[in-house]
Amino acid sequence: MTVAQSAKPSSSDITVTLKRLVALLEEDETDEYGILQPSQSAFKLAMRLVVDAYEIMGDRFPKASASTDEQGGIRLTWSKQSPECEVRLICPATATQQATLYHELGDDYAIEPDVTPSVLVQSLEWLNLA
């Protein structure tokens, strides 16, 4: 998969996020802690949610860090330093499980068990406004 570079600064955050997702596919398959590469199911779900959210948000889409868990699931994290807050999208390794969204601001946090692109957009807009 190729991620095209765009001259527009507005698309740089989505480009960074997509490159980070694709880079997960280039990791070694496993290490002593478990699986490093994401499952195809987790990768497809993460890509769909990110691309769909970007189509809704456009320039407001913030960049995320990307990592895998020991089972091949994907975790995307959007963070803000001031105030310290975070949104995490967890895409499980298997298609039988649903994605989960977690957001936190100080001691307040919430978990969204049914993630759709619009739910992700709402959380990312909340992060942008925090």
Report the C-alpha dihedral over residues 71, 123, 103, 47, rounded to 10 degrees.
10
Condensed to tens digits (0 to 9), the pLDDT of residues 94-103 reads 999 999 999 9
Please provide the DSSP assignment of 32-91 as one string.
Answer: TTEE-SPPHHHHHHHHHHHHHHHHHHGGGPPP-EEEE-TTS-EEEEEEETTTTEEEEEEE
pTM of the model: 0.85
Q: What pLDDT, on a 0 to 100 scale, did the predictor assign at position 51? A: 97
Dihedral sign for Cα atoms in the order 121, 127, 129, 130: positive
Residues of the chain whose pLDDT is less than 50? 1-10
Condensed to tens digits (0 to 9), the pLDDT of residues 6-33 reads 334 445 999 999 999 999 999 877 777 7
